[in-house]
Structure 1
Amino acid sequence: MLDMLPRYTLLIVSAVLLFGACEQPLDITIEREAPNIVIQSNFSENHVLQVVVQKEERFSSNVFTQIVTDATVKVFNGDQFLETLEIVYTQNNESVPPYYQSVFFKPVVGISYTIQVEVPGYDPIFATSLIPQAANLGDISFNNQAESLEGGLESINFEIGISFDDPADVDNYYHIIFIQEVTNYTINSNGDTILGKTELINPEDLFVDPLNGNIAMIKFTDERSFLLKDDAFDGQQISIPFKGSFFFRPGSQILQPFKVDFRTVTEDYYLYHTSFAKNSRTGGDPFSGPVVIHDNIKGGSGLFSGYNSNITSFDITN
C-alpha cells in the first residue's frame, strides 16, 4: 500500500492541474516584436536606382516578411532633392518582388546619395552610400575542357586567372562573381528549335574555389562568388587563380558565355554580405552563436550600397 501512495498522489495532482487548466486557462504572454522596416538596394553606375522595401516581423523563432507597396522613396544628393521613385510591379516573374525605381536618375561614381523612405506609421528612414572608384582590372585568363557524362550530362571544367591593381593606402573591398546562364530549348515535330527561358545554372551544378590559399576570401551563400578585402595586398598588383566546373544538359540547354563580374564595393557592402554569409553557415549549429548582420540603414535595417562592376565574358568551347 505504501508503494501505491506516491503513484496515486501523482495521479491526483495531475488531475487537479488538468481541471484547473480547464477552469482557468494559464495566462502566458509571448512578446511580439514590432515590425521592422528592411531596405535593400545595391546600385551601380549608369543604371536606374532600384529599392525594395519590406516589413519584417519576428514572432517566437519565426520571421514573417511583407513587401511594402505604399512607401514614398526619395533620393537626394546632399540636401538637393533628385527624384521620387515609382513602384514597379513585376510580371511573369514571381521571384522578383515589387520594388521602387527611379525614372531619370542614374548614380555616378564617387558621389554620395541619400535615400529617404517614408512608410505609414513609421518615422522616416535614411541611408547614404556611393559607388566607389574601380580598381584597375588587368588580364583575365579563361580556359575550359568539356567532358561527356552519363545520363545526357556534360561537364565543363574551367580555370580562371584574375589580376588587378589594388589602390594603395586606402581600404578596398571586392566581390568576384562567376555567372553561367543556360537557355532552355525544345525541338518540335517539324524539327524547329523552340527557345525557352534563359536562367542561371542551378547552384548545386556549379563548383568553384580559389587556388591561392594565401588570400583570405569568404564564399557567399550563392556558392558562386567570393568577397575579399586588401589587408594582405594593399597597393599591390595581385593575381588570383580559380578552378571550377559545372554541369548542363546539351540535349535541352544552350550554354551562354561564361561571365566574371569583378566588383569594387563599399565597406558596408562587404560587411553586410560577409556577415550574412557567416550567419547562414551557423544555422542549425547549437554551439555557434548568432552573427549580427551588418546594416547601414538609419531607422531600419538592410543595405543601401553602391558598387563598381566590370563584367568580362568568355565563350565556352565544347
Structure 2
Amino acid sequence: MARPLGELRGTTEQANELARWLRKITNGVGVRQLEADFPYSKSMWTQFRNGSRLVPKELLGQVVNRYLREPAMRQRQLDLGLRLLDAARQSAAARTPGEGSEFTRAAARPRHLDSFAQAVLRLDDARLRQMEAIRRLTASERRCEQLQDLVSALEQRCTLLEHERDRARDEVRAELQQALEMSVEYRRQANHKLKRARRARIEAYELRLAAEAQVTRAQLGMSRDSAVPDEMGTALVPPSATAGNLASLEGLAPALHAMDDELDEDDQGRDELRTALRLPAVDRPVHDATLLRGTVEESPLSPSPVPGVGGVRPSAGDGEATGDGREADGGSPGRAGGHAHRP
C-alpha cells in the first residue's frame, strides 16, 4: 500500500500544479513500484511528486503511457502534463531575486481552457478516480480470498493436530499441544483480519459506486457545456444505459424477483449444510422483498416522489412499507420464514 504523500514543496505554484497532476496520474502507486517501473530512484520520485524537482519530459510521457489505458484520455493528459511542465519551467526561469511581478507570474500560467475542454478534463479526473476505486475493490476481493484460504488451512491444521494429540504418546503430546495452541492463535488472528478485509471490501464497493456516479455527472456536464457531444473523442454514456438494459423498467421487477428466489434457495442450501455439519442455526433479519408497483415518470432525472425510489410514482392501492416490514394497509410482511412475498 502506498504511503500518504506529504505537502507540496515547489518553489512556484506552477511546480506545485505539475506535482498535483503527477500525483493524480500515479495515484495509489508507491515509490518502490515507481522505482521498479522507471529508471529513477525512490528519492527522485519523492521530489517529483512534491514539486521540489520538475519531472523530465520523457519520463512524463512514459508515466502517462503506462498508467492510462484509454487512448483519448492518455493524449489529453499528456498534453495537459506537457503544458504544466512548460509553465513550471518558464516560471522557474523567470523567478529571479527581486523580480516576481504579477505580470511575470501570470505570463507563466497555462492558457485558459474553454468550458468544454475543462469539462473533458473533469471527466478524465472522474475516470481516474473510478479506475482507482476499481483497483482497490479488486485488491480487497483478492485479499479476502487469500485470508479465507488461510483461515481454512489453519482450521484444517487445528483439526489434524487435535486428532494427533489425542492419539499421541505422552512424550510427544505436549509438543503437539503447543503446536495446536499456536495454530489456534494464528487462526484467531487470521479470522480477525478476514473480518476487517470484508469490511474494507464493502467500503471499496461503496467508493466504486460513488466514483461511477461522479463519472456519469461529469458526462452530463460535458453534454451541457457543448452542443457537439464528442469533439474530443470521449464517449458519452446515457444514464439509462450504464447498467445494461435499465431503460426497460418492466423487465426489472421479474429480474429482482428471480434474484430473490436465488437468495432464498441459497439461504435454504446453507441451512441444510449447517444441519449436516451439526452447526447451530443463524438468525437472519427479515427482509422486505416487496417491490414498489407504479408508473415511470417522463423524466428519469426528475426528483423522486418516493424517498429512495427515483422516477417511480406509487399506483393507487399500493401500501407503503413500514418499519416492521408490514405494509400500511395491513398486509403481511414482505418475507416470512425466508420466502418472498410477491406483490
Question: TM-score, normalised on structure 1?
Answer: 0.19
More helix by share: 2
More strand by share: 1
Structure having the higher Rg: 2
Question: TM-score, normalised on structure 2?
Answer: 0.18
